[in-house]
Amino acid sequence: MVKRIFDILFSIIGLIFFSPCFLLVSILIKADSKGPVFYLQERVGRNGLSFKIIKFRSMITDQNHNSTITTANDNRITTIGKIIRKLKIDELPELINILIGNMSFVGPRPDVPGYADLLKGEDRLILKLKPGITSLASLKYINEEAILASVEDPIRYNKEVIFPDKVKLNLNYYYNHNIWIDIKVIFATVFYILKKIFEN
């Protein structure tokens, strides 16, 4: 209950505070490439129920590309897309998902359909959690696209190394999560974003 009140309150504050950013990014996306401002994708949420995650579109609209893995050097990423992905600004519209109630600020990142099917036994407890914008796993793999770009087989590396480790971290969060851990994760995420902004 406390977590939901926190999510509602701060998602509303966030949407109001970042409204000028929403407008600016929307204009830049439309000026940079053809296609919609927002990108909607099916993800698996709490209890295995699917929902549409909302992001700023950071890639060209390529209907023929079916890969769910994105590396830092993916040629589908637009010019403005590289910037908003690096600063995690493309995730801002997920505040709408939080307000609606199918996401939280902190929780396991929601996977595309198929990955949830790989969860077996105790690991499926993760699906009892509401997915989040950020998490302990997200912080550890905050440079995931760069990591995947550095390996020979990104799809295999993600399946055999990154995904299992994220499951372990998310399961640990399931057993130990509380509002104070959430606040620490949020502050760590904000600190990373601010650091990236001042580096540029």
Picking from 46, 161, 33, 163, the residue whose alpha carbon sits closest to that of residue 107 is: 46
Residues 63 and 18: their CA atoms lie apart, in Å, by: 30
Show the DSSP H helices in the chain as ranges.
2-17, 19-32, 79-86, 94-100, 136-140, 144-149, 154-157, 163-176, 179-199
Q: Do the bridges between strand 50-56 and strand 38-44 make them parallel or antiparallel, or are there none, so unpaired?
A: antiparallel
Q: Do residues 169 and 137 lie in contact, with contact meaning Cβ atoms separated by under 8 Å?
A: yes
90-146 per-position pLDDT tens digit:
999 999 999 999 999 999 999 888 888 888 999 999 999 999 999 999 999 988 888
pLDDT score, position 67 = 59
Residues in CB range of 103: below 8 A, 6 or more apart: 45, 51, 53, 94, 97, 110, 130, 131, 132, 133
Q: Which two tokens stand for residue 89?
A: 């600004």
Domain residues of the chain, as ranges?
A: 2-199
Q: Do residues 58 and 77 lie in contact, with contact meaning Cβ atoms separated by under 8 Å?
A: yes
Give CA 39 to chain center in angstroms. 12
| Phi and psi based region of residue 59 (left: phi greater than 0; alpha: psi -120 to 50; beta: remaining) | beta
Residues in CB range of 173: below 8 A, 6 or more apart: 107, 108, 129, 135, 136, 137, 181
Could you tell me the sign of the dihedral formed by the alpha carbons of 88, 91, 93, 96, in that order?
negative
- Structure confidence at residue 200 as a pLDDT band (50, 70, 90): low
7-55 per-position pLDDT tens digit:
999 999 999 999 999 999 999 999 988 999 999 999 999 998 999 999 9
Q: Has residue 79 got a pLDDT over 80?
A: yes
Residue 53 in 3-state DSSP? strand
Provide the whole-model pTM. 0.87
